[in-house]
Amino acid sequence: KQEVTQIPAALSVPEGENLVLNCSFTDSAIYNLQWFRQDPGKGLTSLLLIQSSQREQTSGRLNASLDKSSGRSTLYIAASQPGDSATYLCAVRDNYGQNFVFGPGTRLSVLP
Amino acid sequence: EAGVAQSPRYKIIEKRQSVAFWCNPISGHATLYWYQQILGQGPKLLIQFQNNGVVDDSQLPKDRFSAERLKGVDSTLKIQPAKLEDSAVYLCASSPIGRESNQPQHFGDGTRLSIL
């Protein structure tokens, strides 16, 4: 059974810092991995989706990498801003099922 | 394009009562998902529909939860009777097609359910 963990659970940084969020999964037979952002009281917004054959995806100040063999993904946020404050979740879609298994999320606070 | 619509936004009921949630997916999206998100955790899939057929309901507590998607568009999720542990946010998401799709899921803002 696929399990997804995220470290750290919470992170507080000053504005302007570059930061890395980590996601680990136990079964490397994945179809794709997706990073989401969730603001308080809101649903999830998709940030980046990486196919199993890809190593990384970039969108603006965000870069996500995938190392399928080691069961890890990282989300890199460059030059963080207070507006980046939110909970970031990763989710994997495996080859056996059709749904996503989510991690518990990392709560990020970027201080002005 | 209009996003995934959910209602109500909030619901407070007493245990053993019944409750229903409604979801209207993005137009043209064949796949619809219901998730349960308990405070401090990631969403957990309850049921997945493709058009009006159930693809996966392995984590749906079928003794108390039910869901339907008539005509392959709107969907309702019902809990009867509710238990204290059902307090959570219920999220609906949709995507164009199933596992073959590389398109991300689009989420609604959810219904926050509190059981007293």
Mean pLDDT of B5-12: 96
Predicted pLDDT of residue B70 = 82
Mean pLDDT of chain B: 91
State the Cα–Cα distance between residues B65 and B82, nearest whole angstrom: 9
User: Can you read off the two tokens belonging to residue B73?
Assistant: 């568009």
Q: Min CA distance, A33 vs chain B (Å)?
A: 10
Q: Which of A90, A109, A73 is nearest to A34 (CA)?
A: A90
Provide the residue-wise pLDDT of chain A in tens; the chain has 112 residues. Answer: 899 999 999 999 999 999 999 999 999 989 899 999 999 888 899 999 999 999 999 999 999 999 999 999 999 999 999 999 999 999 998 776 567 899 999 999 999 9
* A21–B contact, CB cutoff 8 A: no
Q: Percentage of chain B surpassing pLDDT 70?
A: 95
Contacts of A86 (CB under 8 A, 6+ apart): A37, A38, A39, A40, A107, A108
* B102–A contact, CB cutoff 8 A: yes
Q: How confident is the model at residue B113 (pLDDT cuts 50, 70, 90)?
A: very high
Contacts of A27 (CB under 8 A, 6+ apart): A1, A2, A71, A94
Q: Min CA distance, A6 vs chain B (Å)?
A: 10
Mean pLDDT of B81-87: 96
User: Can you read off the two tokens belonging to residue A20?
Assistant: 């890395």
* Chain A interface disruption, residue of B34, B105, B113, most A CBs within 10 A: B105
State the Cα–Cα distance between residues A35 and B42, nearest whole angstrom: 12
Residue B105: list chain A partners with CB under 8 A: 34, 44, 46, 100
State the Cα–Cα distance between residues A3 and B106, nearest whole angstrom: 22
CB–CB of A4 and B104 under 8 A? no
Predicted pLDDT of residue A94 = 78
State the Cα–Cα distance between residues B36 and B28, nearest whole angstrom: 24
pLDDT tens track for B47-69: 999 888 998 898 999 999 999 99
Mean pLDDT of B13-34: 94
* Chain B interface disruption, residue of A6, A47, A52, A99, most B CBs within 10 A: A99
Predicted pLDDT of residue A98 = 63
How many CB pairs lie under 8 A apart between chains A and B?
A: 54
Predicted pLDDT of residue A100 = 80
State the Cα–Cα distance between residues A25 and B4, nearest whole angstrom: 28
Predicted pLDDT of residue B99 = 52
What are residue A35's DSSP bridge partners? A48, A90
Terminal-residue alpha carbon distance, chain A = 41
Predicted pLDDT of residue A33 = 93
Handedness of CA B31, B36, B39, B40 (dihedral sign): negative
Q: How confident is the model at residue B96 (pLDDT cuts 50, 70, 90)?
A: confident
* B5–A contact, CB cutoff 8 A: no
At A46, which helix (H) or strand (E)?
strand A44-51
- Determine the 3-state secondary structure of A32 from DSSP: strand
Residue of A nearest to B46 (CA): A99
